């Protein structure tokens, strides 16, 4: 029996197996061979309302407890995975502390713990809820010691001090039962996904997402703290989010990993931590990790791939049966406006858009071309075909029939590729800078060094100037034909994608919303972000409307000039990555694709249409074969 939906959290439960929670809100128990032993039913009242993954989950005694993205609190029996309790977010809150009409705030956080028979977790309003484990009765609801910031992890293993961390880079030290944490340490600029107690050296370990000070969005890793909150050591080992740390059973090895897709093994035999080994070869970003009683390792990557590894990480002992797919990018063909290219987990899908007999848009898969170079992050339409970039560092060009004309491997983890207005050049951004390539041959024309930061997004202006946005948010313009910096704008906000709308307008997605930058004014003039939770991955700008998708699995619709929100879609099947607007009749068809290989087709508002967005249909791309 295979897993049908992407798993988002894993936890090893002694004497039971591997607990896995998926994007639909179901949980599963897997054995040592990562075969599915049993699965829970879909939570009532959550999946029906839309996308409600369970990121917040833990097991204690005979119970599994958790919270879904919408704040619904859940309890299952561990032995059967029968769902026993579902507590609606609206009825587990202290309403005297809320605004009139306030609704739960969707969030994907991991902070939950069971301590002395009580469950501690943020409710849907980010207050602290304390429940009795055996009865699942809400015993008290209090303001959170982290304010309105979601909690990310708890640790009660230190003999005298409890610890917690949040999504704003803070470590809290104090007493969990009293919800009193007088010591607060700013340890990072972003999430601290885990904080654990190290009994060998009587200290805490914590992860970092962003880094701090001169390393902000450049280098990050893990750090250690004493019980008074003093940071004693730091190990910089990543350029992207660090999602986990865990100990071997004897605490002599610390396992660390994250979005760089590298598992680090740190030697913890002495007070000075050091990197002893690294393991690569994972299919995607590492997002979760747990260690079994026998010292074997369980890894989860962003695409839902679960592996059981030997204690040194070198041998794959088992792999869960799951067929992944994702739509990363959708672009119109340069040759045929009815043909579209979709970047996928295994290649590029060629799509066609037509009108069905009743006048509605119909999207179909014309071909699906598998190239074997890792998942395709971006696709660039070119005359006669397309270019693409993969996470495995390949930039390539293909014909419309999928024949690979050339390929070039960049020096480090690749992020984006974009094409010049005349289709003659390509700009490939990666962790070690930028490679500019001849689009016809793949030969390197130029290399752009941007220093310690990673190049996360790039594009060309109509005049050929090269624009590069770094992981720190610095946007720099380089001359078209020489290594001269024409101007710079430090937005201080990391980017995801960027393109030029015209000679004076850059559109950037990423941290703190979807943005318009004026080249002549060197500033952000518009920001479309209201009600969006988390990073904005992508979007579309039309003459009167703007559409943006976020890591909160949301789609926001905005009025272009005023930036006023007009609609919010929160029932997307999973994370959205690709967005494209294609002219159709008197308006546009909006295509939104994401994890799971789905593409949702919307009609945008047009003449006589009241709703700013109307869902028409979904197209599901074929998923990859299971890897044994």
Q: Which two tokens stand for residue 26?
A: 């179901």
Whether the pLDDT of residue 261 is over 80: the answer is yes
Map residue 443 onto helix, strand or coil. coil
pLDDT tier, 255 (very low <50, low <70, confident <90, very high otherwise) = very high
Question: Does the structure show a pLDDT above 50 at 628?
Answer: no
Residue carrying the six token digits 């941290």: 511
Tokens of 129: 């809820």
Q: Is the pLDDT of residue 45 over 80?
A: no
Q: Same domain for 368 and 445?
A: yes
CATH of the domain at 101: 2.40.10
Residues 6+ apart with CB under 8 A from 323: 2, 623, 624, 625, 626
In a domain, 218, yes or no: yes
- Please state the rounded mean pLDDT for residues 459-471: 97
- Contact in structure between 11 and 58 (CB atoms under 8 Å): yes
Do 140 and 161 fall within a single domain? no
In a domain, 236, yes or no: yes
Task: Choose among 270, 248, 291, 302: nearest CA to 108.
Answer: 302
What is the C-alpha to C-alpha distance for residues 470 and 444, in angstroms, rounded to an integer? 20
605 — pLDDT class (breaks 50, 70, 90) = confident
pLDDT over 80 at 610, yes or no? no
Residue 215 has phi, psi (to 5 degrees) of: -100, 5
Is there a domain that residue 292 lies in?
Answer: no
Pairing, β 361-370 against β 297-301: unpaired
> Is 377 in the same domain as 412?
yes
Q: What is the pTM of this model?
A: 0.94
Q: What is the structure's pLDDT at 44?
A: 59
Q: Could you tell me if 186 and 232 lie in one domain? A: yes
Chain mean pLDDT for the chain: 94
Do residue 449 and residue 507 come from a single domain?
Answer: yes
**Structural domain of 221:** 157-252
In which element (H, E) is residue 583 found?
Answer: strand 576-584
Lowest mean pLDDT across 103-107, 385-389, 545-549: 103-107
Assigned token pair, 112: 């939950």
Q: Is the residue at 291 inside a domain?
A: no
Average pLDDT of span 212-230: 94
pLDDT digits (tens, 9 = 90+) for 134-183: 999 999 999 999 999 999 999 999 999 999 999 999 999 999 999 999 99
pLDDT at 106: 84
Confidence of residue 103 (pLDDT cuts 50, 70, 90): confident
| Coil, strand or helix at 559 | strand
The 8-class DSSP code of residue 47 comes to G
Q: How confident is the model at residue 50 (pLDDT cuts 50, 70, 90)?
A: very low
pLDDT of residue 514: 98
Residue with tokens 């170079």: 373
Same domain, 345 and 492: yes
Mean pLDDT lowest among 68-72, 312-316, 392-396 = 68-72
Statement: residue 405 has pLDDT above 90: yes
Residue 46 is classified by DSSP as: T
Q: What is the pLDDT of residues 414-459, one digit of tens each?
A: 999 999 999 999 999 999 999 999 999 999 999 999 999 999 999 9
How many residues does this entry show for the chain?
A: 628
- Over 50: is that where the pLDDT of 47 sits? no
Total Cβ atoms within 10 A of residue 463:
10
Q: Please report whether residue 20 resides in a domain.
A: no
Domain assignment present for 319: no
261 within domain boundaries: no
pLDDT given at position 48: 39
217 vs 129 pLDDT, higher one: 129
Structure confidence at residue 322 (pLDDT): 95
- Residue at which a domain ends, from 528, 544, 560: 544
428-433 contacts, C-beta under 8 A, 24 or more apart:
428/389, 428/395, 428/458, 429/455, 429/456, 429/457, 429/458, 429/468, 430/393, 430/454, 430/455, 431/239, 431/455
Band (pLDDT 50/70/90 cuts) for residue 326 is very high
SS3 176: coil
Do 399 and 448 sit in the same domain of this protein?
A: yes
Structure tokens at 589: 């068809």
Assess whether pLDDT exceeds 60 at residue 49.
no
């Amino acid at each position: 029996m295979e897993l049908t939906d992407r798993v988002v959290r894993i936890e090893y439960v002694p004497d039971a197996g591997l607990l896995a929670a998926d994007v639909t809100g179901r949980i599963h128990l897997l054995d040592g061979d990562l075969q599915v032993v049993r699965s829970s039913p879909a939570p009532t009242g959550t999946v029906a309302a839309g996308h409600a993954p369970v990121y917040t989950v833990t097991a204690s005694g005979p119970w599994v407890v958790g919270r879904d993205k919408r704040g619904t609190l859940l309890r299952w029996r561990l032995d059967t995975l029968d769902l026993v309790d579902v507590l609606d977010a609206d009825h587990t809150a202290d309403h005297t502390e809320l605004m009139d009409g306030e609704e739960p705030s969707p969030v994907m956080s991991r902070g939950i713990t069971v301590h002395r028979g009580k469950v501690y977790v943020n409710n849907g309003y980010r207050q602290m809820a304390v429940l009795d484990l055996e009865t699942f009765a809400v015993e008290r609801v209090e303001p959170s010691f982290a304010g309105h910031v979601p909690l990310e992890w708890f640790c009660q293993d230190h003999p005298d001090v409890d610890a917690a961390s949040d999504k704003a880079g803070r470590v809290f030290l104090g007493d969990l039962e009293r919800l009193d944490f007088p010591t607060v340490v700013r340890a990072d600029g972003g999430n601290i996904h885990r904080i654990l107690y190290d009994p060998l050296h009587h200290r805490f370990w914590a992860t970092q997402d962003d880094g701090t000070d001169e390393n902000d969005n450049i280098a990050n890793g893990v750090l250690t703290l004493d019980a008074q909150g003093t940071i004693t050591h730091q190990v910089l080992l990543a350029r992207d989010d660090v999602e986990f740390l865990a100990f071997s059973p004897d605490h002599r090895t610390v396992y660390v990993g994250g979005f760089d897709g590298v598992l680090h093994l740190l030697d913890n035999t002495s007070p000075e931590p050091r990197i002893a080994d690294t393991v690569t070869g994972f299919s995607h970003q590492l997002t979760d990790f747990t260690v079994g009683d026998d010292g074997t390792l369980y890894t989860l990557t962003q695409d839902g791939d679960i592996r059981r590894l030997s204690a040194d990480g070198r041998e794959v002992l088992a792999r869960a049966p799951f067929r992944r797919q994702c739509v990363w990018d959708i672009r119109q063909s340069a040759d045929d406006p009815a043909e579209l290219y979709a970047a996928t987990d295994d290649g590029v899908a060629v799509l066609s858009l037509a009108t069905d007999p009743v006048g509605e848009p119909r999207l179909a898969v014309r071909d699906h071309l598998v190239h074997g170079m890792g998942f395709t992050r971006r696709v660039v339409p070119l005359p006669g075909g397309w270019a693409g970039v993969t996470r495995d560092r390949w930039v390539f060009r293909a014909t419309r029939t999928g024949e690979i004309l050339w390929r070039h491997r960049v020096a480090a983890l690749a992020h984006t590729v974009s094409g010049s207005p005349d289709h003659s050049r390509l700009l490939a951004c990666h962790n070690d800078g930028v490679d500019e390539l001849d689009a016809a041959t793949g030969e390197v024309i130029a290399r752009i060094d941007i220093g310690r930061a990673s190049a996360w997004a790039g594009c060309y202006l109509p005049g050929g100037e090269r624009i590069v946005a770094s992981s720190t948010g610095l946007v720099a313009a380089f001359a078209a034909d020489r290594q001269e910096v024409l101007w710079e704008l430090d937005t201080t906000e990391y980017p995801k994608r960027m393109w030029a709308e015209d000679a004076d307008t850059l559109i950037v997605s990423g941290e703190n919303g979807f943005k318009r930058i004026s080249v002549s004014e060197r500033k952000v003039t518009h920001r479309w972000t209201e009600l969006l939770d988390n990073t904005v991955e992508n979007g579309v700008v039309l003459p009167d409307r703007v559409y943006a998708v976020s890591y909160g699995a949301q789609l926001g619709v905005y009025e272009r000039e005023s930036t006023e929100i007009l609609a919010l879609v929160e029932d997307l099947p999973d994370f959205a990555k690709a967005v494209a607007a294609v002219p159709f009749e008197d308006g546009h068809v909006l295509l939104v694709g994401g994890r799971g290989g789905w593409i949702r087709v919307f009609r945008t508002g047009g003449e006589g249409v009241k709703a700013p967005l109307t869902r028409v249909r979904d197209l599901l791309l074929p998923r990859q074969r299971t890897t044994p």
